[in-house]
Amino acid sequence: MTEIVLASFMIFGVALGAESVLSAGMPAPDFTMKDQDGKAHTLSEYRGQQVVVYFYPKDDTPGCTKEACSIRDDYTLFESNGIKVFGVSYDDMNSHKKFAEKYDLPFTLLSDLDKSVAAVYDAKGLFVPSRKTFLIDEKGILRKIYKNVTVTGHGAEILADFKALEKD
């Protein structure tokens, strides 16, 4: 009986938007989404390298542009450290393509049109995803979750945290 009551509270909590059960040290949920060029990307295909998955609300809005440009400005360091970057929003491929071209974004933007990936990563919002970032190691394990992202300087922050994680 206790298990049924506990399960009911957990389901009710999830329905009300309680915190996700994702935490550092867990396997990153796998996904497949299409990028700005229509190419499908599956997270598990990137095992063996570090990955950043960052959810952002909307292409070409002030905060999202600052965040994307912060990562863009440090992108050569991401590349030289073998870190793959995925930006994820509900925007479609055409919107992503325009956004990437307008700001010369060298990394991959993925379309979560059905909001399913944002839901699994506890970044689902009614109209736009929450701004959250996930650092994933070479084995596909979540190493750090940013629930409160500062859009300026986020690229440098991610790089510093990956370096710190390598020392652990």
What's the topology of domain 22-167?
A: Glutaredoxin (3.40.30)
Task: Label residue 11 by pLDDT band (50, 70, 90).
Answer: very low
Q: Which two tokens stand for residue 5?
A: 């009551």
**N- to C-terminal Cα distance for the chain?**
42
Taking the C-alpha atoms of residue 165 and residue 36, their distance in angstroms, rounded to an integer, is: 30
Q: Is 69 a catalytic residue?
A: no
Task: Label residue 52 by pLDDT band (50, 70, 90).
Answer: very high
Taking the C-alpha atoms of residue 114 and residue 70, their distance in angstroms, rounded to an integer, is: 27
| C-alpha to C-alpha distances, 161 to 30, 78, 110, 148, 152, nearest whole angstrom | 22, 12, 23, 15, 16
Mean pLDDT of 119-139: 94
pLDDT number for residue 148: 86
- Domain chopping of the chain, boundaries: 22-167
Q: What is the pTM of this model?
A: 0.85
In the block, residue with structure tokens 């999202």:
64
Task: Label residue 131 by pLDDT band (50, 70, 90).
Answer: very high
Annotated catalytic residue: which of 28, 43, 64, 135?
64
Tell me how many degrees the CA angle 148-150-155 measures, rounded to the nearest 5.
Answer: 115
pLDDT tens-digit profile of 83-128? 999 999 999 999 999 999 999 999 999 999 999 999 999 999 888 9
To the nearest 10°, the Cα dihedral for 156, 161, 164, 165? -140
